[in-house]
């Protein structure tokens, strides 16, 4: 069994090492110690990681592990770990596995009995949430939004009644289209926070009702630059609100039946009030 470079790390161990999402000063001393002393660094992009390592004068060799080769290379890395090699897993920025590669490797390590040590550190999801002003006691991270409009609208529709704060990643070239799709499903009054360029020079965290946020973005093209985190306030049910599932049933039935009949059937299916359904239908479907 081989020995690691230093007593600071254990042999036969996979370390999950978060790296800065912008400001290099955010890296922890423990992360630097691990990166400097493991035998190998598995990196999403070795060229990107080499710049980080060079900045901190770390010479540990790197190995490419990304979305396109992770499943094929996981067994190779597990063999090295089982032989005593210590390995650090890093992504381009933030915490590995959080919308970044690493899941397959960590999952297989756990099943193979390989020791996995996660380090705390930078994560855009938590950074954005902590500064958003939205409720943080319950939240759901949904990752990157689907690339096509229908997929996004289906996603928003499925989450429309969720009471938790919803968090998404989005790219600059799709942010306007994504917010337009969100507007079509959630309406202009839902509170939304856009966090961009977190920890960087032009960091911006701006919250407003969705309709106003879209107008604010349109005022300055610089506001749609950089990596984006979208945070959406959870649904707050009103006393007379009809659940989304009930409204979807009514909408579907009303396409084939007179509204009064559709409302009656929907009320029977869901145990809802027929008059409230009929009134909603008159206001929204005809």
Nearest to 230 by CA among 275, 186, 262: 186
Does residue 70 register a pLDDT over 90?
Answer: yes
Work out the average pLDDT over 24-38: 98
State the DSSP string of 99-151: SSS-HHHHHHHHHHT-EEEEPP---HHHHHHHHH-S--SSEEEEEEPPSSHHH
Look at residue 283 in the predicted model and tell me its pLDDT: 85
Look at residue 237 in the predicted model and tell me its pLDDT: 64
Does residue 107 register a pLDDT over 60?
Answer: yes
Q: How confident is the model at residue 243 (pLDDT cuts 50, 70, 90)?
A: confident
* C-alpha–C-alpha distance, residues 196 and 230, integer Å: 9
Look at residue 285 in the predicted model and tell me its pLDDT: 84
* C-alpha–C-alpha distance, residues 165 and 10, integer Å: 39
Work out the average pLDDT over 117-125: 98
Contact indicator for 43, 90 with CB cutoff of 8 Å: yes
Work out the average pLDDT over 14-19: 98
* Residues near 148 by beta carbon (within 8 Å), at least 6 away in sequence: none
Residues present in the chain in total: 286
Residue-wise pLDDT for 75-95, tens only, equals 999 999 999 999 999 999 999
Does residue 280 register a pLDDT over 60?
Answer: yes
Look at residue 52 in the predicted model and tell me its pLDDT: 98
Does residue 3 register a pLDDT over 50?
Answer: no
* C-alpha–C-alpha distance, residues 92 and 43, integer Å: 7
Work out the average pLDDT over 245-267: 92
Work out the average pLDDT over 20-32: 97
At 134, give phi and psi (nearest 5°): -90, 160
Does residue 4 register a pLDDT over 90?
Answer: no
Contact indicator for 74, 105 with CB cutoff of 8 Å: yes
Residue-wise pLDDT for 147-199, tens only, equals 999 999 999 999 998 999 999 999 999 999 999 999 999 999 999 999 999 99
Q: How confident is the model at residue 263 (pLDDT cuts 50, 70, 90)?
A: very high
* C-alpha–C-alpha distance, residues 49 and 5, integer Å: 19
Higher pLDDT, 75 or 2: 75
Does residue 203 register a pLDDT over 90?
Answer: yes
Look at residue 242 in the predicted model and tell me its pLDDT: 81
Look at residue 88 in the predicted model and tell me its pLDDT: 98
* C-alpha–C-alpha distance, residues 187 and 159, integer Å: 13
Contact indicator for 117, 9 with CB cutoff of 8 Å: no
Work out the average pLDDT over 64-85: 96
Contact indicator for 226, 152 with CB cutoff of 8 Å: no
The structure tokens listed for 242 are 């009809």
Contact indicator for 28, 20 with CB cutoff of 8 Å: no
Angle (CA) 267-270-275 rounded to 5° is 25
Residue-wise pLDDT for 39-52, tens only, equals 999 999 999 999 99
Cα distances from 284 to residues 17, 38, 120, 240, 245, in angstroms, run 51, 61, 48, 15, 15
Cα distances from 3 to residues 74, 77, 108, in angstroms, run 21, 16, 23
Q: How confident is the model at residue 240 (pLDDT cuts 50, 70, 90)?
A: low
Residue 54, H or E segment: helix 46-55
Contact indicator for 260, 280 with CB cutoff of 8 Å: no
């Amino acid at each position: 069994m081989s020995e690691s470079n230093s007593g600071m790390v254990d042999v036969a161990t996979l370390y999950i090492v978060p790296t800065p999402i912008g400001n290099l000063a955010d890296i922890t001393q423990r992360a630097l110690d691990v990166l400097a002393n493991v035998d190998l660094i598995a990196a999403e992009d070795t060229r990107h990681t080499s710049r980080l390592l060079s900045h901190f004068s770390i010479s540990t060799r790197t190995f490419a592990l990304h979305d396109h080769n992770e499943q094929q290379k996981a067994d190779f890395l597990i063999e090295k770990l089982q032989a005593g090699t210590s390995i650090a897993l890093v992504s381009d920025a933030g915490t590995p596995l959080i919308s970044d590669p690493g899941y397959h490797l960590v999952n297989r390590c756990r099943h193979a009995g390989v020791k996995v040590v996660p380090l705390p550190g930078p994560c855009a999801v938590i950074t954005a949430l902590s500064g958003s002003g939205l409720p943080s006691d319950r939240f759901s991270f949904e990752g990157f939004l689907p690339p096509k409009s229908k997929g996004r609208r289906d996603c928003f529709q499925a989450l429309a009644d969720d009471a938790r704060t919803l968090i998404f990643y989005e790219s600059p070239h799709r942010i306007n289209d994504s917010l337009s799709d969100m507007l079509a499903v959630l309406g202009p009054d839902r509170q939304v926070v856009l966090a961009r360029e977190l920890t960087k020079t032009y960091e911006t965290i701006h919250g407003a009702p969705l309709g106003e946020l879209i107008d604010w973005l349109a005022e300055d093209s610089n506001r749609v630059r950089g990596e984006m985190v979208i945070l959406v306030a959870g649904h707050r049910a009103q006393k007379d609100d009809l659940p989304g599932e009930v409204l979807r049933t009514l909408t579907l039935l009303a396409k084939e039946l007179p509204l009064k009949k559709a409302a009656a059937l929907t009320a029977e299916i869901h145990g809802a009030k027929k008059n409230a359904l009929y009134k909603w239908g008159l206001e929204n479907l005809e």
